[in-house]
Amino acid sequence: MNTHLTSIVVVALLVGLGLYRRMQRTIGFQKFVRRRMVTRMVMLSVIGVMMVAIGFTHPMVYLYDALGVALGGVLAYYAMRTTSFDRRDDGWYYRPHPWIGIVLLILLVARVAWRLYGLDTAVGTPTGPGAGASEQATYLHEPLTAGVFFALITYYVAYYTFLLRRERHLEQETP
Mean pLDDT over all residues of the chain?
Answer: 79
Q: What is the 3-state secondary structure (H, E, C) of the chain?
A: CCHHHHHHHHHHHHHHHHHHHHHHHHCCCEECCHHHHHHHHHHHHHHHHHHHHHHHHCCCHHHHHHHHHHHHHHHHHHHHHHCEEEEECCEEEEECCHHHHHHHHHHHHHHHHHHHHHHHHHCCCCCCCCHHHHHHHHHHCCHHHHHHHHHHHHHHHHHHHHHHHHHHHHHHHCC
Q: Which residue has the higher pLDDT, 110 or 135?
A: 110
More confident call, 154 vs 170: 154
Percent of the chain with pLDDT over 90: 26
Residue 139, pLDDT > 50, answer no
Query: What pLDDT, on the 0 to 100 scale, is given for residue 167?
Result: 87
| Mean per-residue pLDDT, 50-79 | 86
- pLDDT at position 72, please? 92
Q: pTM for the complete prediction?
A: 0.74
Q: Using one digit for the tens of pLDDT, what is the confidence trace for 66-100?
A: 999 999 999 999 999 999 898 888 888 998 887 88
